Structure 1
């Protein structure tokens, strides 16, 4: 809480649930997640959500804890269009990374086409989830342009429009002028 008062802190996170590696008991993950949401609400900062193989529980907890009060980002979103709609109703932006550039990534590409531009963000998730054509190598921030290019193509827009839209969305979410 004390650290969140610093002027450069614009969000709380990354927080959420990760059932992929099974290194932390699910009940403890859920308890800590709920406490982190409560903290974000107390300090009135948006939250960055990590979700790996835990979509149903993440969405349920966000609803139960009233996370729409602060909203935030669904980091590296890979869920369905239905889940995307649920998250947007709770005041969340959807952020897409390298996987949207993968040839076999049908679901994220469909979601990108469907969601409104004012809920769209892009990211690198460095050092992971490297976009095509660098897949398999260490990711780096400069590769975010490949994500933007893919999204521009999917939305039938140009790169500059997507760059501008996602920049403005991030400024609005993080209250940056």
Structure 2
């Protein structure tokens, strides 16, 4: 039972998923991506769209542009703040982030979080907007317990064995709140510092499961089944 809780729909991913169907969440950060994902879903209904203004695009994608897609999306995200991978004005990032948090809470839509370098600030924000949260590829040694205590889901990206902070997430977060994600085939290549071929996609998800299992004292097959059912629960869970 394979699942991918967070990925972006590149042309490579479309081809991969056509031959390797599974359950997953397609992350869309622009109106164009939302339209392309909707077209893909018309033929591949096992996937779900998440939609949100990414912190990297907080000053290029407007609320007015994205609102029609936010209204139709089942999940809001990935949204958040980032002071590591981008240099966008943090005040602008926070304003659009909080606006989306409020929208998600009001419309009872779960949220996928991007937290890079802003883990403390985002934790403070989401405490003001009770909801169901999925923390995407968390890679910070701090605040894991605080997010965990808010009953957040955590998706584990490629690969736990190369990142001590991700290992700590696996150790501290209960199995029923863990998910597996690729972030897309290109992100797997980035994490491993080598070019990943399309036919390595499923084996990469299996490797993530095995590395989580090594920490949790479970088999890769058990972790694949647990994370699959966790994703189904997240997709159907009613927000607060």
Q: Structure 2 length normalisation: TM-score?
A: 0.63
Q: In structure 1, what is the equivalent of residue 92 of structure 2?
A: 28
Asked whether the equivalents of residues 10 and 175 of structure 1 are also in contact (C-alpha less than 8 Å), the reply is no
Structure possessing the higher relative contact order (Cα contacts under 8 Å, 6 or more residues apart)? 2
Change beyond 3 A, Cα 1:71–1:21: same
Distance 2:158 2:192 in 1: 9
For residues 102-145 of structure 1, the C-alpha deviation after alignment (integer angstroms, 9 at most, x for no partner) is: 2xx22321331232111111100114442799443258653222
Q: In structure 1, what is the equivalent of residue 135 of structure 2?
A: 74
Q: Where do residues 1-177 of structure 1 align in structure 2 (5 Å cutoff)?
A: 1-6=67-72, 9-63=73-127, 65-66=128-129, 69-80=130-141, 83-102=143-162, 105-130=163-188, 134-137=192-195, 141-142=201-202, 143-175=204-236
CA RMSD of aligned residues (A): 2.4
Asked whether the equivalents of residues 74 and 110 of structure 2 are also in contact (C-alpha less than 8 Å), the reply is yes
For residues 131-169 of structure 1, the C-alpha deviation after alignment (integer angstroms, 9 at most, x for no partner) is: 799443258653222111111111110111101111111
* Unaligned segments of structure 2, at least 5 residues: 1-66
- For the residue of structure 2 that corresponds to 1:13, the secondary structure is strand
Q: How many aligned positions are there?
A: 168
1:4, distance to aligned residue in structure 2 (A): 4.2
Per mean C-alpha deviation after superposition, the further-off stretch among 38-47 and 127-136 is 127-136
Distance 1:131 1:85 in 2: 30
Change beyond 3 A, Cα 1:138–1:40: farther
* Unaligned segments of structure 1, at least 5 residues: none
Asked whether the equivalents of residues 126 and 138 of structure 1 are also in contact (C-alpha less than 8 Å), the reply is no
Q: Structure 1 length normalisation: TM-score?
A: 0.83
- For the residue of structure 1 that corresponds to 2:115, the secondary structure is strand
